[in-house]
Structure 1
Amino acid sequence: MQQRHRDQTGVGRRQFLGTTAASVGTLAIAGCLGGFGSGEDPFDDYGPQAAPVESSAVSWDDLGDLEGELTIYSARTADQINPLFEEIEAEYDDFEIRPDYDDEGDQLASLLEEGENSPADLFYTQSSGELARLKDEALARELPEDVIDAVDDNYSDSDGHWTGTSGRVRAIQYNTDEFSAEELPDDIFEYATDDRFQDVISTRPNSGTFRSFIVAMIDEEGEDTTREWVSNMVNEQNATLYSSGSAQAEAVANGEQEIALGNQYYAGRIVGNDPDAPLDVAFTNNDPGCLFNVSGIAILEGADKPNLAAEFTRHVLARQGQEFFVDTNGEYPVVDGVDYVGSLPALDEINPLEFDLNKLSNVEHAQDLLREEGMTV
């Protein structure tokens, strides 16, 4: 698998559409789009759509073959997503992914500059905020109907211009030798004022999900309150700022830090590999500190291969793709038929903030606020 030109640094749900021979007649199975064999990939038509059946997540065996090259701008780091890319490539001899890994903000800036002339077919993000911004700029194509219907509106764009592919929740990662869950506040604002956390708390401001958390805080509590929270974290709590979510969670597990504000799945990976690690997570209650967000996909308006990009997206949402996120990354699935199985709480055991993910599009404002208050790495 080749990298194009930049190196990496640093609740009800709808059913996914499968097919049976009886349900589609002479049509190909779900997602088997016309034109692949002839090398054609018409821009204006995703091809024939299959009829739904009463089933949950489909298998790759139910989908069309992937053929050709797909250029993906990925804001997910290679360690998080490259194993899935390689697994999909191994399934199809004539398919190659050309990933371009970079920071989410930099990827978005490139896409906004390139517009419809971008070489990317697809944008794969850490957070829905950048996807919503791409939609706002009319650079994301509407997805095929079956892909739109695969994922609940809470986890995707209700207008169908992007879809979540896996979920994560903002959490309080803590060292169990220093704290118990009962000792920790369930209000995110107390973490910026409680003296117990001074010099022992950390966060990761370069993360797309952290910027989305800031956007949600501005929307829920106002800009002044958000600025005060950020300022207190920097100036009063002396929060350590990390550029890697994995390194941040590892620092808590090995005792370098006692508290970390980050996505739950980073802790889940460590505990999954070492159940005796002194690391656990707690959650705030129905506030931005417990924001559920998604990593997701948008097909670019100027994509050369929109059908291939759509079929790839179906593979990510199929059972094998969803199980990868659960088993390998400790993330939450976003389609029915695949359950979260892990050492951390399932979604129905916590109380995340109810929030329209499309409202997270103003990520640049969040970046400016963080920069102005000195929370940058």
Structure 2
Amino acid sequence: MAHVRTLGAIALLATVTLTACAGGDESGDATPSGSTTAAPTAEADGTLTLYSGREEELIQPLLDQFTSETGIEVEVRYAGTTELAALLQEEGDATPADVFLSQDAGALGAVSKAGLFTTLPAEIADTVAAGFTSTDASWVGVTGRARVLAYDSEALTADEVPSSVLDLAEPEWAGKVGIAPSNASFQSFVTALRVLEGEDVAREWLEGLVAGGAQIYPKNTAILEAVQAGEIQIGLINHYYWFRALAEQGEGAMRAQLSFPEAGDAGSIVNVTGAGLLSGAANDADALEFIEYLVSDAGQQYFVDQTFEYPLAGDVTAPEGLPALDTLTNPELDLSDLDTLGETTALLTETGLL
């Protein structure tokens, strides 16, 4: 039955109030630099404004589900994650957004670094295990998405697919690789490459792709379609695009197959989608309830069933056929280090990919 307000969000805000009055918790954790702590007064008017870097096709059904269950209306602005992160930094405290739902951790880190998020209550921030969320409670991870190589099974065997993405810049793969430089997930991957291997290695790899005539696509879906059609032999995508296509077309129709880069490789990162509460909405119970919903069992099950992503909270089971999440994570990479998005886009521009 629809209702205007659940007790969960109000209780969460009450917890923040008590913590603030007590002068901090026993762990001694400080408010993250550049962030504000959620205000003690819970205000609810039955609406919230969402900036979504995730596609309308994927997210609108979830928003409809949330509204149906809570009675809270969501006014949403859809655009690319990188575009919205830049817009939020331009708008600053004047932004109309209450919540930013991002396609990747890098954009969330950049917005957090700009001091635009408020600190989330522990009841939300601690829902997701360390390694898949922020280290300072400025944003919370919502789903996990593994970077994979989609390959043309009619042109390559599984053993012929490189185990490292760095190999794709070698001459033997010239003209056979597809990438999406303007896509937020690709940009976060390049950021991870910079963090793990250094600027010089990242630049050399990108230059190698350019010299080899890597095929440029606007997004992951187009890359997968190109592999499926035999236009390219390998494409860098997120895992769930393939699983969505599998559900729609069936195993027999899947010429494209998946290969997971070896653990520890820069190409094997598990990035996350995530959400942050803008500072101007620190006392907005509607916005806080929405973020709480994203990491609830209902929200997590939606992403498993509809987008085939890894759940990060609750007792929800990952989609069938996916490797265990802990076999893909790179212990050398902290997702908080993906906040240097500006440096990555500058490098992509310098190498002619943007």
- TM-score class, shorter-chain normalisation, is 0.7 to 0.9
Aligned mate of 2:165, from 151, 175, 188 = 188
Aligned mate of 1:176, from 145, 153, 166 = 153
The Cα of 1:69 is off from its aligned counterpart by: 1.0
| Whole-angstrom distance in 1 between the partners of 2:328 and 2:277 | 32
Matched, 1:269 2:228: no
Matched, 1:159 2:136: yes
Structure 2 partner of 1:257: 232
Matched, 1:137 2:132: no
- Unmatched segments (≥5 aa) in structure 1: 1-27, 36-41, 48-65
Paired residue secondary structure (2:281): coil
Paired residue secondary structure (2:73): strand
1:297-336 aligned at under 5 Å gives the runs 297-303=275-281, 306-336=284-314
Matched, 1:74 2:52: yes
| Whole-angstrom distance in 2 between the partners of 1:44 and 1:348 | 36
The Cα of 1:339 is off from its aligned counterpart by: 1.2
Which amino acid letter does the alignment assign opposite residue 234 of structure 1? V
Matched, 1:122 2:99: yes
| Whole-angstrom distance in 1 between the partners of 2:59 and 2:223 | 19
Q: What's the TM-score once normalised by structure 1's chain length?
A: 0.80
Say whether the 8 Å CA contact 2:150–2:236 is kept in structure 1: yes
| Whole-angstrom distance in 2 between the partners of 1:232 and 1:358 | 28
Paired residue secondary structure (2:8): coil
Aligned mate of 1:292, from 265, 270, 273 = 270
| Whole-angstrom distance in 2 between the partners of 1:119 and 1:29 | 25
Structure 2 partner of 1:58: none
Say whether the 8 Å CA contact 2:49–2:96 is kept in structure 1: yes
- For residues 177-235 of structure 1, the C-alpha deviation after alignment (integer angstroms, 9 at most, x for no partner) is 2222222121111111051x221210111111211111111111111111110011111
For the aligned residue pairs, the C-alpha RMSD in angstroms reads 2.1
Q: What's the TM-score once normalised by structure 2's chain length?
A: 0.85
The Cα of 1:344 is off from its aligned counterpart by: 3.6
1:1-377 aligned at under 5 Å gives the runs 29-33=7-11, 44-45=39-40, 68-92=46-70, 94-195=71-172, 197-236=173-212, 238-273=213-248, 274-276=250-252, 277-285=254-262, 286-303=264-281, 306-350=284-328, 352=330, 354-376=332-354
Aligned residues: 322
Say whether the 8 Å CA contact 2:296–2:314 is kept in structure 1: no
| Whole-angstrom distance in 1 between the partners of 2:41 and 2:206 | 45
286-295 or 243-252, which deviates more: 243-252
The Cα of 1:106 is off from its aligned counterpart by: 1.6
- Relative distance call for 1:305 and 1:252 in structure 2 (3 A) is farther
Task: Give the helix-richer structure, 1 or 2.
Answer: 2
Paired residue secondary structure (2:345): helix
Say whether the 8 Å CA contact 2:143–2:274 is kept in structure 1: yes
